Amino acid sequence: MSDDPFDLPRVARHADPVVTTSEPVTQELVSAEGERHFPCPTCGSDLRFSPDTGVMSCDHCGHSEAIDAQAPHPVRELDFAAAIDQLLPAQDVQETRTTQCPNCGAQVAFSDDVHARECPFCATPVVVSTGLHRQIKPRGLLPFKLAEDAAKEAMTDWLGKLWFAPNGLAEYARKGRKMQGIYVPYWTFDAQTHSDYTGQRGDDYYTSHSVVRNGKRETVRKRHTRWSRRSGRVARFFDDVLVLASHSLPRKYTQALEPWDLAALEPYIPEYLAGFRAESYTVEIKEGYAQARSAMDAMILRDVRFDIGGDRQRVEQVTTRVSDVTFKHILLPVWLAAYKYRGKTYRFVVNGRTGTIQGERPYSAWKIAFAVVAGAILAAVVGYFIAQNQ
């Protein structure tokens, strides 16, 4: 069993993730659309952060301003135990007015004078709920590096390679409809672990035997395994174990956007959000830590097998002690296209740093039926000519 100081139930080896059922916590958002607004000092229009130049610029008059890199709060780790006990300093938490999308689960922010809007993740109408939500502020982010036109080109190319995609779906990208630049919430966890294990090491050896096959005598080798008891200890420091803190996007798609260059994290500065949206997190920190522990357990199990050595391993028990657990709430940039086509919602996500794309693969029933009929006709034609030649 595990000596985990944070009272998450574990089993002796590679435990399943713990699922919590408490209410979601949310993250800082400002406008009714979830955007930060910075008026242009020249014309009054909104300044927007430009991924191409790394500065805030005005689309109306061309005025630009550099972002002050001296953040008031550097990218630093926070104490996990203090967060669980709700003892974080006041500057690390805040309250926002949000509600959860009934379709995809995203936390949608509202300003005080707005009571309904469209979910940016799935285009579902959302009506605000009452009350405020306590949240942990983000400590860092990766600024967008890929502009919208480059993200749109990546999506268009991807759709163009899908033979069975509906024509209307591919046309959506070609018409140049606007994509949403969204900062997606993540947790990162650091922890020191020490694990004691017991198990067995298997060393293979071979013996030769003479057998008769098809009237011929052959020599074959048979594998055997010699098992011996083993026990020991492995230690590993985990740095920035990444956990998606949102239910609004399918995890298999966001995982496909990895890896993220977390070494390039910038301190959280609101100016980076100018012109973009940011989602509130719906995976609470305790649930996020449980997912991180599951990933840590898998890595520890690999370390144990390596330490046992031999050709095969039997791991009987692993007892892990966890200490010095810290975390960060960070935002990672994703370009998102979400729209409905014939009653179904399709979403495509693009890594705002690298251009890696993933999404729901659309299929056209007419194209598939046509391909099946065409294949049957081709097979019949080929069969006819083969019969004629015979």
Q: What is the pLDDT of residues 134-158, one digit of tens each?
A: 789 898 999 999 998 888 887 777 7
> How large is the average pLDDT for residues 232-241?
97
Q: Where is pLDDT greater, at 195 or 274?
A: 195
Instruction: Kindly state the percentage of the chain with pLDDT values over 70.
Output: 65
pLDDT at 367 over 60: no
Range from 13-17, 94-98, 101-105 carrying the lowest mean pLDDT? 13-17
When the pLDDT of each residue in the chain is averaged and rounded to a whole number, the result is 77
Task: Give, for 148, the enclosing helix (H) or strand (E).
Answer: helix 148-160
Per-residue pLDDT tens digits for 105-121: 666 665 544 445 566 66
Amino acid 65: pLDDT: 86
pLDDT at 128 over 80: no
Number of helices and strands (H, E) in the chain? 6, 19
DSSP 8-state secondary structure symbol assigned to residue 183: E
Contact between residue 197 and residue 315 where contact means Cβ atoms under 8 Å apart: yes
Closest CA to 76 of 300, 385, 284, 326: 326
CA distance 117 to 120: 9
Amino acid 226: pLDDT: 97
Residues in CB range of 99: below 8 A, 6 or more apart: 107, 108, 110, 126, 127, 128, 129
Amino acid 32: pLDDT: 39
Contact between residue 271 and residue 46 where contact means Cβ atoms under 8 Å apart: no
Amino acid 189: pLDDT: 98
Closest CA to 369 of 377, 361, 380: 377
pLDDT at 281 over 60: yes
- Say if residue 86 is exposed, middle or buried (CB neighbours under 10 Å; 0-12, 13-18, 19+): exposed
Q: Where is pLDDT greater, at 92 or 174?
A: 92
